[in-house]
Each structure stands twice: as C-alpha cells, then as structure tokens.
Structure 1
Amino acid sequence: MSSPLVIKVGGRVLQNADHLHQLLTTIEQLARLRALVLVHGGGDQVQSLLNQLGFTSEKVDGQRITLAEHIPMVTGVLAGDINSQLVALAQQHQLNAVGLTLAAGHSVTCEVDHSRGCVGVPSPQDATLLELLLDKNFLPIISSIGVGPNGERLNVNADLAAAAIAQLLHADLILLTDVPGILDHQGELIDTIDAHHAQTLMTNGTVRDGMLVKLTAALQAAQASRRSIAVAGWQDAKALTRLARGEAAGTRIRL
C-alpha cells in the first residue's frame, strides 16, 4: 500500500450541505489514488451551540479556551453530530467510512494544556488500528476529541490533531482551508514556505489566528515525518488531485 494521505477538514465547508457534497465528491475521487484519513474540527458549530446555551467562549492565537463545563457540548458537536454526519455523507459517496476519536485504539495520546482549560496537546502513539482499517479499505473519519492521562476528554485543535495522525502514519498531510493556501500581505498565494520563511511570516503578522495554527501544525508534521505537507483550499478539486499525486498545489511546507 502506498503511503496514506491525511486530510484535515474544517471551516465553512462543514456548515453547508452543498459544500460538503462538493468536497466528498472530490474525496471519493482521491480515494481511488491513495488511502485516506479525514480529521475534522468544527469550531464554528461548537461556538454556535455554546452561544445558544448562554455560554461564553474565547480563542487565543487561533485556539479555543475550553472550560470543563463546556466539554459535554464540545464532545457532542465534534464526536457526535459532525462526525456522524460526515460518516453518513461519506457512505452516500461509496466511501467505507468509520467514525472515530483520536483516542480510538490509543492512536493519539494527549497532555493537558492547562493554560487553555480542557485542551489536549496531541502526540502520535499507536498506529495499529488505523493501519488495520486502511489495509481493509476503510476510510477513518476522526474527530478532534482526545483523552488525557486521567481519562478526561479534551478538545484538541483539529490542525494539530491532523498533524499528529500524519506523523503516526508517516503520511502526507493536506490542511484544508477556505482560501487557496497561505497568502502574503497582498493576498497572493505563497507557493512554498520553509522554516525560516515561516518564522518571518508569523513574526510580522502576515500569518495569524487560525492560519497561524495551521502553519505551526504543518511545520511540526514536516519536521517529524519528512513527508509532503500542504495548506490548500477545499474548493479546488484539481489542486487536491494534484496534491494527492504528489504534485505542486496550494502552499507547500518544506524544511
């Protein structure tokens, strides 16, 4: 089996049925080229539910502060509502999907980032379950819910979660976003970013908030796996196909 491809899904695509259908049509095509794993977040949906229930929540540097009393809602949205929806839609696209959390099969372990509340810092642990599923042509769809050292459920940033899964499987990684890739100050696509260039972009504020987390996750995955890492827009099916074939598209992260 060729090396897998891990795709992180998030943003507006998860909030629109037509967008999801478009993306899953592309993923159905990509599954003919590579073994795939999908990792998803759902921060906007979490925020919407918290607001409806009268809770306040905030982000720092693109990552959510998660209080203990928020965890049942966060878990319900990510591991329940969104994950089951993605599995159901994927199966309609002839994909043999299986819904999981990061903790399934001890795939990813988490330490607690106490500065952000019940937030997990993920580390790759055991590839056995995911390798078994991929070998049998299943499509794992993994929510960014982890488990801490004492069995506590943790909210994990989905970009960092996807990077940990890519490291675990020695896989290529695509972090999907609502724009074509990482953009410069003029809004133009940056084709390639190395570690030094990344530091400059983060220091001068060109890359910030959610894209800052994506770039950090991509650098971590590139450092650990030495595999192809890209940030790309989910709308461009041709770009995603090129990336699945190992060709240039979006923003490539290189060391």
Structure 2
Amino acid sequence: MSTPLVIKLGGRVLTDVAALQQLLTTVKRLAELRPLVLVHGGGDQVQAMLQQLGQESVKVEGQRVTPAAHIPIVAGVLAGDVNSQLCALAQQHGLQPVGLTLQAGNTVICEVDSSRGAVGIPHAGSGQLLQLLIEQNYLPILSSLGVSAQGERLNVNADLAAAVVAQVLHGDLILLTDVVGILDHDGQLIDTITAAQAPELIANGTVRDGMIVKLNAALQAAQVVLNKTSRRTIAVAGWHDANALTRLARGEPAGTRVRL
C-alpha cells in the first residue's frame, strides 16, 4: 500500500456547500492515486453556534479558548453537524466515508491544556484502526474532538490533530487554507519554509494569527516523518486549487512545502 495522505479541512470551505462539493471532487480524484484520511475542524460553525446561544468565545494565537461548559456545543458541531455533513457529501461523490473522532481506536491521545480550558494537546496513539479502514478502501473522516485519559472531551486544534494523525500513519500531510499557501509581506507565495526560517517569519509578522498554528503543525509533522533526504510531503496549500493538490499528492512541488 502506498503512503497515506492526511488532508486537513477547515476555514471557509466547510461553511460553503458549493466550495465543499468542489473540494470533494478533487478528493475523489486524489483517492484514486493513494489512500486518504481527512481531518476537519469547524471553528466558524462553533463560533456561530456559540453566538446564537449567547456565549462568548475568544482565541489566543489562533487557537480557541474552550470553557468546559462549551464542550457539549463544540462536540455537537464538530462530531455531529460538520462530520455528518462531510460524510454525506463524500458518499455522494462515490467515496466510502467513515466518521470518527480522534479518540476512535485510540488514534490520538490527548492531554489537557488547562491554560485554554477544555482543550486537548494531541499526541500519537495507534494507527491500527485507520490502517484497517484505508486497506478496505474506506475514507476515514476525523473531527478534531479528543478525549483525555480521564474521559473528558476536549476541543483540539485541527491543524495540530492532523499533524499527529500523519505521524501515526507515517504519512504525508496537507493543511488546507483559503489562500494558495503561506504568503510573504507582498502577498507572494513562499514555496518552501525550513525549520530554521520559521521563527524569524513568525517574529517579523510574515506568518501570523491562525497561520502560525498551521506552520507549527507542519513543522511538528516534519520533525517526525522527515529527514534530510526524505521525499515525504508536508505542505500548506489552498483548497480551491485542484491541480496543486494533485501535484502534492504525487509528491511534486505546490503550495508552501515545509522542510527541516
């Protein structure tokens, strides 16, 4: 079996059904090239539901602070609404989706980040369940909802979760975003970022807000699955560019590739 490809979905594509249909058409094409696993967030939907219910929500450095009282809402949105919609649309595109949380099969182990409330810090668990599913041509679709060792449900940043899933599967990773990749101060694509370059790009504001989390997640995955001569792909790319995603699935340059 070829190397699995983990794709993280989030942002506007999850709130726009037409955009999601477009992306899933691409996912169907990629699934013909190699095994896929999807990991999704749903921060915009969580924010909308919290506001509808009169609850306040804040982010720090691109990551949501989640009081324990918000977890039933977060779980309902991520593992319920968003995951079930993704599975339904994926099935329409001829895929065989299986909706899961990070806890399923002990895939991702979470510790509590108490500084952010009921937020999980993800760590690699077991890849056995995902391997069994993709070997049978199923498409695992994981929501970014985790569980602590004490059974506490936790909100997990989906970029970080996807990086850990790639680690578990020794796979490639594409973090999808609403732009073509990580951009410089002039709005031009940075085609490659190394671990040595990343701190300066963050310090000078080139990489900021939620993109910091994406870059850190990509670096986290790179530290585990790459070495200096590795041909594995770790990239940040735009969901709307089917050709770029196809190139990345084939191991060719596109988006912003992250290297050691």
Give the shorter-chain TM-score range.
over 0.9
How many angstroms does 1:208 deviate by?
A: 1.0
Q: Which position in structure 2 is the counterpart of 1:125?
A: 125
Matches within 5 A, 1:134-149: 134-149=134-149
Q: Which amino acid aligns with 1:243?
A: L
DSSP 3-state at the match of 1:246: coil
How many angstroms does 1:203 deviate by?
A: 1.0
Matches within 5 A, 1:175-214: 175-214=175-214
How many angstroms does 1:197 deviate by?
A: 1.0
Q: Which position in structure 2 is the counterpart of 1:84?
A: 84
Aligned-partner Cα distance in 2 for 1:121–1:101: 15
Q: Which position in structure 2 is the counterpart of 1:48?
A: 48
Aligned-partner Cα distance in 2 for 1:126–1:159: 19
Q: Which amino acid aligns with 1:246?
A: G
Q: Which position in structure 2 is the counterpart of 1:159?
A: 159
How many angstroms does 1:170 deviate by?
A: 0.3
Aligned-partner Cα distance in 2 for 1:153–1:235: 32
How many angstroms does 1:247 deviate by?
A: 0.2
Q: Which position in structure 2 is the counterpart of 1:238?
A: 243
Count of aligned positions: 255
Q: Deviations over 1:69-115 (max 9, x none)?
A: 00000000000000000000000000000000000000100000000
DSSP 3-state at the match of 1:196: coil
Q: Which amino acid aligns with 1:187?
A: G
Q: Which position in structure 1 is the counterpart of 2:28?
A: 28
Aligned-partner Cα distance in 1 for 2:180–2:234: 14
Aligned-partner Cα distance in 1 for 2:203–2:233: 24
DSSP 3-state at the match of 2:196: helix
Q: Which amino acid aligns with 2:35?
A: A
Q: Which position in structure 2 is the counterpart of 1:112?
A: 112
Aligned-partner Cα distance in 2 for 1:128–1:18: 34
Q: Deviations over 1:206-232 (max 9, x none)?
A: 111100000000000000111320000
How many angstroms does 1:143 deviate by?
A: 0.1
Aligned-partner Cα distance in 2 for 1:252–1:186: 19
Aligned-partner Cα distance in 2 for 1:14–1:162: 16
TM-score, scaled to structure 1: 0.99
Aligned-partner Cα distance in 2 for 1:191–1:127: 30
Q: Which amino acid aligns with 1:231?
A: V
* Identity across matched positions, percent: 70
Q: Which position in structure 1 is the counterpart of 2:229?
A: none
Structure 1 gaps, min length 5: none
1:252 paired with 2:253, answer: no
Aligned-partner Cα distance in 2 for 1:151–1:68: 13
Aligned-partner Cα distance in 2 for 1:56–1:157: 18
Q: Which amino acid aligns with 1:72?
A: P
Structure 2 gaps, min length 5: 227-231
Q: Which amino acid aligns with 2:256?
A: T
Q: Which position in structure 2 is the counterpart of 1:15?
A: 15
Q: Which amino acid aligns with 1:75?
A: A
1:96 paired with 2:96, answer: yes
How many angstroms does 1:196 deviate by?
A: 1.3
Q: Which position in structure 1 is the counterpart of 2:233?
A: 228
Aligned-partner Cα distance in 2 for 1:12–1:218: 20
Q: Which amino acid aligns with 2:234?
A: I
* Stretches of 4+ aligned residues off by more than 6 angstroms: none
Aligned-partner Cα distance in 2 for 1:249–1:158: 22
TM-score, scaled to structure 2: 0.98
